[in-house]
Amino acid sequence: MYISDCLEKIRQKKPLIHHITNWVTIYDCANITRAIGALPVMAHAKEEVEQMASIADALVLNIGTLTTDLIESMILASVSANKKGIPVILDAVGAGATDFRTQKTKEILKQVKISVLKGNSSEIGTIAGVEAETRGVEAISVKGNLTGIAKHLAIMEDITVVITGKEDIISNGTETYICKNGHNMLGKFVGTGCMSASLIGVFCAVEKDYAFASAAALSCFGIAGELAAENAKGPGTYKISFFDEIFNLNSTSIDKLKKIEKII
Amino acid sequence: MYISDCLEKIRQKKPLIHHITNWVTIYDCANITRAIGALPVMAHAKEEVEQMASIADALVLNIGTLTTDLIESMILASVSANKKGIPVILDAVGAGATDFRTQKTKEILKQVKISVLKGNSSEIGTIAGVEAETRGVEAISVKGNLTGIAKHLAIMEDITVVITGKEDIISNGTETYICKNGHNMLGKFVGTGCMSASLIGVFCAVEKDYAFASAAALSCFGIAGELAAENAKGPGTYKISFFDEIFNLNSTSIDKLKKIEKII
Amino acid sequence: MYISDCLEKIRQKKPLIHHITNWVTIYDCANITRAIGALPVMAHAKEEVEQMASIADALVLNIGTLTTDLIESMILASVSANKKGIPVILDAVGAGATDFRTQKTKEILKQVKISVLKGNSSEIGTIAGVEAETRGVEAISVKGNLTGIAKHLAIMEDITVVITGKEDIISNGTETYICKNGHNMLGKFVGTGCMSASLIGVFCAVEKDYAFASAAALSCFGIAGELAAENAKGPGTYKISFFDEIFNLNSTSIDKLKKIEKII
């Protein structure tokens, strides 16, 4: 019921989601934002990011193809978003793969207020300071219990932490959710991680409980992923079908298929 | 008849369309150019834009993810295009959403000769100086009669003005066209505005009456959009089908489906 | 047999393919790398390209939307790749269309060790110093025998040269392969050239005979292209189907369909 309430609000309010993101999946990030019913805008020039963030309902940052310049724009936009009180989502793509990515992620976390920090297990593990290996943008290994890491980092940084994987873990330190929706085919094409961060931004724009909003976003993402598999012949047709399913999501399919657990 | 003559010329001449565009829809802009039968090239380095424009048949500028550097390249390329006498299309994406976009659009219009200025109602309204609200890249509101605004701006700037929307308005100040082709689903995925500017560039490359060429381009765009809807299950399958229909456009479907009105 | 051995190795080893590429087809380059079974990573900041290349299994450079900055990153990454001994593929997109592209291609070839230089006939012709015309990123004409040009340039530069076209020519100076797989529809959408360079990077990451690896990659590319044509209604559905076929490639279809000739 509640997840579909969020979806309803998104389609009515059409929140504007300002992205400063990477050049690989920038189109898909914009497109999933539109498909779910919100409005995307991509803008990264230092001269305009503050103003763009100030008219937006959420800000999504993604360091997939970061440069020093882009990080500066992210910080300017975040300061503006913080001032306005809109949620800021940070997708720490490739943290741990290079020192540059790890450092810049930490720099952002230190300088501005992030609402939701998202990554795969080794990206989040790296930021949490545990032993972890990221290969390119792929999680290879991480030492320790993922739920514990999410919870600990959430408390330390006073944020919501999202660890994506076969099961997604979301924690704000107090409440922790496990999302079990999803499909194997979501790992067979590029951009699912980035798109799920965009969806988190959309849901956080209409729901102030960011942990729940993130869980709702990832459930919708996973449910669309399950529905898309029906007629797919490979990752090409699957991805196209996935966009159709995101667009067609409704309370019936969400209520029937959702698999969220809340851990106290 | 005449629209399909343009299409025939495009497929025979294969005009080269130089784009300096945004990082979100850059692929789709290139791809629709190719799908209709022309050749796209994307090049933005200051060191080469003049030379690239000098071998092109049209130049398409799009400020969707503008930076100061990119605008400088656009101006350099436009000067070269002006010298050669090829059409320059400017898609004023997001004008009005930030001061930066509004100013840079006006700067381009002042410094070089633009052939076709394209935008949605609030983007063009902003440039025309009427009260308008752009939210991200979305038209929210504009005060005044759109046909009047297009006509007035066309006369003031001595250009062809295109306002896209449910009905597209094209005016060179003397002749005004209304294009009524299109489909609701064209608004459900990202990039249609940008792609229609690319198509305008392609048609202007083979037809010197830029108002008619723009109307022809938007008619073809809308007709393909109507045909694409037949078997689509959502914006994913619809968009794929749209590219098929752009590629398969022919005089029979154009003559049967076109809905252009000319206002004296 | 041997081609499918490479494919088997790719799927087992999942090599990491570091790309510094263009903003038009960057997604498709990443996606085909993933679809065939490898891992893509796109990173171009000077601060991280050396480290990223040092954890990669191949480096793919593509000058499709080059800037001076990007070329500097390419050189830094290549030095790192050379040190580690991983293959470096250079796709000379648009060489000959502008002096800037021609010069920068030559600069890269001079400063670092390239393993495979790839281009269409006029791009390679330009670099080889024969009379050639490139229009945007399209081969218009080239003077001389293509196999001879490939062989000669391979010897002069001590590299593997790949000339793509209706028939692909691959030569390391000693061994020359002609790949005859492919389909007319591969030329009807944007990005096939770039994607084939990514695939060459993937195959070279698991097979040290770069001429054979390139021939194997292009055969797989062409075979998937042939299979994709079966149910396509235009370049939209064709491209989607192409990704499915790349993903589903197996030894049976490869052995049945491959058309490689080795010239002594």
What is each CA distance from A27 to A190, B65, B152, C64, C165, in whole angstroms?
12, 12, 35, 18, 29
Chain centroid, CA C223 distance in Å:
16
Nearest C-alpha in A relative to B26: A27
B141 three-class SS: strand
Q: Is A264 contained in some domain?
A: no
Chain centroid, CA A23 distance in Å:
16
Inform me whether the C-beta atom of residue B141 falls under 8 Å from chain A C-beta atoms. Answer: no
- Residues in chain C within 8 Å Cβ distance of A67: 44-45
Structural domain range at position A84: 2-259
Which regions of A130-239 does DSSP assign to beta strands (E)?
A: 132-135, 138-142, 160-164, 168-171, 176-179
Chain centroid, CA B246 distance in Å:
15
pLDDT at C231 (0 to 100): 85
Q: Which of A52, A242, A246 sits opposite B97 (nearest CB)?
A: A52
Mutation pick from C51, C185, C247 vs chain A, by most beta carbons of A within 10 Å, is C247
Which amino acid would we find at residue B243? F
**Beta-bridge mates of residue C139:** C134
- Residue contact A42–B64, C-beta within 8 A: yes
Inform me whether the C-beta atom of residue C165 falls under 8 Å from chain B C-beta atoms. Answer: no
- Residue contact A30–B100, C-beta within 8 A: no
Mean pLDDT of B99-123: 97
Which amino acid would we find at residue B183? H
pLDDT at A1 (0 to 100): 53
CB B125 within 8 A of CB B152: no
pLDDT at C1 (0 to 100): 52
- Residues in chain B within 8 Å Cβ distance of A56: 136
Which amino acid would we find at residue A138? E
Mean pLDDT of chain A: 97
pLDDT at A75 (0 to 100): 98
How many Å from the N-terminal Cα to the C-terminal Cα in chain C? 20
DSSP B174: S
Distance CA(C67)–CA(C118), nearest Å, equals 19
Distance CA(A206)–CA(A58), nearest Å, equals 9
Inform me whether the C-beta atom of residue C72 falls under 8 Å from chain A C-beta atoms. Answer: no
Strands C160-164 and C116-120: parallel
- Residues in chain A within 8 Å Cβ distance of B191: 27, 31
Strands B132-135 and B138-142: antiparallel
Distance CA(A247)–CA(A34), nearest Å, equals 8
pLDDT at B1 over 70: no
- Residues in chain A within 8 Å Cβ distance of C244: 233-237
Q: Where are the alpha helices (DSSP H) in chain C?
A: 2-13, 26-36, 46-54, 68-84, 99-111, 121-128, 146-157, 192-204, 210-228, 235-248, 251-257
CB A181 within 8 A of CB A226: yes
Q: What are φ and ψ of residue A88, in 5° steps?
A: -120, 120
Say how many domains are in chain C: 1
- Residues in chain A within 8 Å Cβ distance of B100: 45, 47-48, 51
Mean pLDDT of A58-81: 98
What is each CA distance from C251 to A138, B151, B186, in whole angstroms?
27, 63, 41
CATH number reported for the structural domain that contains residue A247 in this entry: 3.40.1190.20
CB B7 within 8 A of CB B37: yes
Distance CA(B119)–CA(B108), nearest Å, equals 15
Which residue has 């799009």 as its token pair? B62
- Residue contact C241–A237, C-beta within 8 A: yes
Q: Is A167 contained in some domain?
A: yes
In chain B, residues 94-113 whose CB comes closer than 8 Å to chain C = none
- Residue contact A100–C39, C-beta within 8 A: no
pLDDT in tens, B186-196: 999 999 999 99
B233 three-class SS: coil
pLDDT in tens, B32-76: 999 999 999 999 999 999 999 999 999 999 999 999 999 999 999
Nearest C-alpha in A relative to B134: A55
Inform me whether the C-beta atom of residue B93 falls under 8 Å from chain A C-beta atoms. Answer: no
CB C69 within 8 A of CB A68: no
- Residue contact A100–C47, C-beta within 8 A: yes
In the numeric block, which tokens belong to residue B164?
A: 């896209």
- Residue contact B233–A242, C-beta within 8 A: no
Which residue has 């990573």 as its token pair? C41
- Residues in chain C within 8 Å Cβ distance of A28: 27
Q: Which of C42, C55, C240 sits opposite A240 (nearest CB)?
A: C240
pLDDT in tens, B210-264: 999 999 999 999 999 999 999 899 999 999 999 999 999 999 999 999 999 998 7
Inform me whether the C-beta atom of residue C137 falls under 8 Å from chain B C-beta atoms. Answer: yes
Nearest C-alpha in B relative to A244: B234
Question: Would you say the pTM of this structure is higher than 0.90?
Answer: yes
CB B104 within 8 A of CB B72: no
pLDDT per residue, tens digit, chain C (264 aa), is 599 999 999 999 999 999 999 999 999 999 999 999 999 999 999 999 999 999 999 999 999 999 999 999 999 999 999 999 999 999 999 999 999 999 999 999 999 999 999 999 999 999 999 999 989 888 988 998 999 999 999 999 999 999 999 999 999 999 999 999 999 999 999 999 999 999 999 999 999 999 999 999 999 999 999 999 998 999 999 999 999 999 999 999 999 999 999 987
In chain B, residues 241-260 whose CB comes closer than 8 Å to chain C = 241-248
pLDDT at A191 over 80: yes
**Beta-bridge mates of residue C142:** C132
Tell me, what's the ipTM?
0.96
C58 three-class SS: strand
pLDDT at B74 (0 to 100): 98
Mutation pick from C21, C24, C241 vs chain B, by most beta carbons of B within 10 Å, is C24
- Residue contact B190–A34, C-beta within 8 A: yes
Nearest C-alpha in C relative to A187: C34
- Residue contact A16–B136, C-beta within 8 A: yes
- Residue contact C243–A236, C-beta within 8 A: yes
Nearest C-alpha in B relative to C96: B52
